[in-house]
Chain A
Amino acid sequence: MTTWWHPMVRATARRRLAAERAAALRRVDAWQPPLGTGLWRTAYGESCDAVLAYDRIVALVPAGPVRDELAGRRPDLLAMLDRVRYLAENGAALDPAGPVRDAELLALLAEDPHGDLGQQLGAPPSHLLMDALAAVRGAMWRATEEAARLAVHLQENAGATDTAIWLTALAAGVVSARRADWAP
Chain B
Amino acid sequence: MTDREAARATAAEVGWPGIPTSMRLDADAPGAGPGTGHWHRQVDRLLAAVERSRAAVVQAPAGGVRDQLADLLHVIELRSARYERIAEVGQALWPDDDTTDADGTAPGERPDLGGAAQDIDARLVTALAHLTAVASAVEQIALAAAGTIAADRAALEVERLFRVSPPP
Contacts and interface: CB of A to CB of B under 8 A. Distances in A.
Interface residues of B, number: 59
Interface stretch (A3-11, A16-24, A151-159): A151-159
A41 B89 contact: no
Main secondary structure of the interface of A (DSSP, over half): helix
A59 B85 CA distance: 12
Of the four ranges (under 10, 10 to 19, 20 to 34, 35 or more), the interface on chain A belongs to 35 or more
A174 B130 CA distance: 22
Contact of B155 (A141, A157, A161, A172): A172
Given A160-B168, A172-B155, A183-B147, A49 B10 contact: no
A167 B168 contact: no
Secondary structure dominating the interface of B: helix
A171 interface: yes
A178 B119 CA distance: 44
Interface in B48-90: 61, 63, 65, 68-69, 72, 75-76, 79, 82-83, 85-86, 88-90
A31 B23 contact: yes
A124 interface: no
Interface in B14-69: 14-16, 19-23, 30, 61, 63, 65, 68-69
Query: A-B pairs with the 3 shortest C-beta distances?
Result: A45-B20, A56-B92, A48-B22
Interface of A: 28-31, 36-39, 41-43, 45-46, 48-49, 52-53, 56-57, 59-60, 98, 141, 144-146, 148-149, 151-152, 155-157, 160-164, 166-168, 170-175, 177-178, 183-184
Interface of B: 3-4, 6-7, 10-11, 14-16, 19-23, 30, 61, 63, 65, 68-69, 72, 75-76, 79, 82-83, 85-86, 88-90, 92-93, 115-117, 119-120, 123, 130, 133-134, 137-138, 140-141, 144-145, 147, 151-152, 154-155, 158-159, 162, 166-168
